[in-house]
Amino acid sequence: MARDMNILVVGSGGREHALCWKIRQSPRVKKLYCAPGNGGIESIAECVDIKAYDIVALADFAHAHAIDLTVVGPEVPLVEGIVDLFEEEELKIFGPTKAAARLEGSKVFAKSFMKRWEIPTARYAAFTDLSAAIAGLKNFTMPVVVKADGLAAGKGVIIAQTSASAEAALNSIMADRVFKEAGKRVVIEEFLTGEEASVLVVSDGKDFVLLESSQDHKRVFDNDEGPNTGGMGAYSPAPVVTPDLLKEIAATIIRPVLDGMADEEAPFRGILYCGIMVTPEGPKVLEFNTRFGDPETQAVLPRLKSDIVELMLAATEGRLKDFSLKWDSRACVCVVLAAGGYPGEFATGQQILGLSDVPAEAMVFHAGTRKEGGKILTAGGRVLGVTALGAGIEEAISKVYAAAGQVVFEGRHCRQDIGRKALGR
């Protein structure tokens, strides 16, 4: 392959802005496109008006513009089979096939897979019938976790403290279809206690390299209160993930996943995101994602010193066996600035002010924004991810909140405790 590459990033959020920012640093890049992109991405890549789920149009674009590598950000095109289509058309793409993406696309598949391969996870039961699911609650002690089977933009998980609230969650998912087709099946799980961590690996189907650990903050309010969101902030590294624990996760979770998927004729290539609960009995899987996390990507990639394009090429070409990564020893914190009301109803079209006042050492990754008449406007629930590096987690927290304080828009909301758990360690 020629040294100069045309690269296409698929998606429009903060994760994709961070990916474009990191890819742009590679000397391999000649031309960078993002479909559809957002108001911030257009300053570093050419934005293309193709939706992330329009996989046929994306393949046509890749052919027409001699794209050497496509990088998929969000989960929907992966579950729809974008990798299978691109590979059929001999287009190089970084991500798992449709069969491998079932680890994220179906909670029922993921849980049954873990049971088959003896991968540690919470006890569960799966249901397609509402009355059977309600009856099944009696086999669990409260609180329980109720999950929609399919994709629900990070919001399909409900922690129910009582039997009544669990029954209400089942009704809203299965009868009211608040998550549409994603709620045709549900999983009821025992509630795990401990501290959460996110462990991401890049795999070529056989070998893998670990990325630095991180911790997401799913709940909308401080102290992990309120409903689940797509993620309100993240930091890296996560002190709860000690070197010994990371070895245990690699041996008891990651290796069995890759071996199991290969054995079931769905070898996993791309990013495997393991949402882990560090319980008193050891690490257990909460969920799998089959792409970069959001906002974990915004906290992890600023610490990556290695060329991300070389990493992705090695994964797509089966060359990860002796691949190693270099990391910045500093800590990184990302704080999400969200629209008022998110993850419920929220307004869009609010002008964002103060972006030029953010210190140059901080990064602002656009998530839900659009550019109109020279102004940057809100266009989503999670609007921006403000990110900063620091000598330690305390300095990174101080810097990120000072930077985030410069940015204002009507209804702006952010958690004030991102990274605080790390200080206790």
pLDDT tens for each residue of the chain, 425 residues long = 446 899 999 999 999 999 999 999 999 999 999 999 999 999 999 999 999 999 999 999 999 999 999 999 999 999 999 999 999 999 999 999 999 999 999 999 999 999 999 999 999 999 999 999 999 999 999 999 999 998 887 678 889 999 999 999 999 999 889 898 888 999 999 999 999 899 999 999 999 999 999 999 999 999 999 988 889 999 999 999 999 999 999 999 999 999 999 999 999 999 999 999 999 999 999 999 999 999 999 999 999 999 999 999 999 999 999 899 999 999 999 999 999 999 999 999 999 999 999 999 999 999 999 999 989 999 999 999 999 999 999 999 999 999 999 999 999 999 999 999 998 77
SS3 29: strand
Q: What is the pLDDT of residue 3?
A: 67
Distance CA 381, CA 342 (A): 5
Same fold, 5-95 and 331-423: no
CATH among 3.20.20.60, 3.30.1490.20, 3.30.530.20, 3.40.50.300 for 129-184:
3.30.1490.20
SS3 365: strand
Going 106 to 109 to 110 to 112, the CA torsion angle's sign is positive
SS3 166: helix
- Break the chain into its structural domains and give their ranges: 5-95, 129-184, 194-316, 331-423
Domain 194-316: top CATH class:
alpha beta
Residues 350, 354, 355, 357: what is their CA dihedral angle, to the nearest 10 degrees? 180
Distance CA 387, CA 403 (A): 8
Q: What is the pLDDT of residue 155?
A: 73
Q: What is the pLDDT of residue 59?
A: 98
Domain 5-95 is found in CATH 3.40.50.20? yes
Distance CA 374, CA 352 (A): 11
Q: What is the pLDDT of residue 230?
A: 87
Task: Return the closest-CA partner of residue 384 out of 213, 362, 77.
Answer: 362
Please give the backbone phi and psi of residue 408, each rounded to the nearest 5 degrees, phi first: -135, 145
SS3 228: strand
Report the topology of domain 331-423.
Answer: Glycinamide Ribonucleotide Synthetase; Chain A, domain 4 (3.90.600)
Q: Judge whether 75 and 55 are in contact, CB under 8 Å.
A: no
